[in-house]
Chain A
Amino acid sequence: MADDAEQQQSSNTVEEPLDLIRLSLDERIYVKMRNDRELRGRLHAYDQHLNMILGDVEETVTTVEIDEETYEEIYKSTKRNIPMLFVRGDGVVLVAPPLRVG
């Protein structure tokens, strides 16, 4: 947290939902954001607004296109990598450990 230098959060008990995020510090996490975006990166810092600093981030933007003739939905995703990113908290929808398939 931002005021770490002063007040060490030495309590290791999970008391509120934000404490669950504290458990993921320095781990890789999955962040779902508004506007069909997802981030996967290493959580370096966070605050009460869910502003976050993520390292080695991969951002995935998913778009849906409707085929004019068949009306089927085509899902496309664009990815990009950013070494260190500050994320404003109001865009964050959820935070979770990275999804494991299989």
Chain B
Amino acid sequence: MDVSHSIRERTIAENSLVILLQGLHGQVTTVDLRDESTARGRVINVDAFMNIRLEKVLYRDRRGHVSSMDDLFITGRNVRYVHIPDHMNIIETIETQLAKIHRVRNFGASGGRKEYSKKK
């Protein structure tokens, strides 16, 4: 459940709803793709561009043919929907993810390299 190592990705994620998807690490969800196929599996990772890695996937293609895969990488552009598990608290998940990013940002704050300079 690690935050991205890239400053650019952290900033992109922090300023969009992708951060909620990043909070889905470890959950089993269904991703509906642009081409009408669906993939249901456990979320390993979601990056700032909405690229999604799933494991232990049940993949149903456009024709309805089901196959299973150990590992699936979906390009962000190809995502249409992500089904959010019922039990999830959305605000809490977003706030937790934001807190993680801020923790990383403040890590080198005193005497370390700052991500952005505050000009006063």
Interface residues in chain A, defined as those with a beta carbon under 8 Å from any beta carbon in chain B: 2-6, 44-49, 51-53, 82-88, 90-91
Contact = CB atoms under 8 A, between A and B. Distances in A.
Contact of B83 (A4, A6, A48, A85): A85
Interface stretch (B54-62, B86-94, B106-114): B86-94
Nearest to B13: A2
Q: Which 6 pairs, one residue from A and one from B, show the smallest C-beta to C-beta distance? A: A84-B84, A86-B82, A51-B17, A47-B17, A47-B16, A88-B79
Contacts of B77: 90
Contacts of A52: 17
A87 B19 contact: no
B90 A2 contact: no
A37 B56 CA distance: 29
Given A5-B98, A6-B98, A86-B21, A51 B16 contact: yes
Interface residues of B, number: 25
A49 B16 contact: yes
B80 A3 contact: no
Contacts of A90: 77
A46 to B, nearest CB: 7
A90 B49 CA distance: 12
B97 to A, nearest CB: 9
A86 B81 contact: yes
Contacts of B83: 82, 84-86
Interface string B14-38: 1111111100000000000010000
A3 B90 contact: no
Contacts of B84: 53, 84-86
B50 interface: yes
Contacts of A82: 81, 83
B46 to A, nearest CB: 10
B115 interface: no
Contacts of A91: 34, 80
A46 B94 CA distance: 13
21 contacts: A2-B19, A2-B94, A2-B98, A3-B14, A4-B94, A5-B94, A46-B17, A47-B15, A47-B17, A48-B16, A51-B18, A53-B20, A84-B84, A84-B85, A85-B81, A85-B83, A86-B81, A88-B80, A88-B81, A91-B34, A91-B80
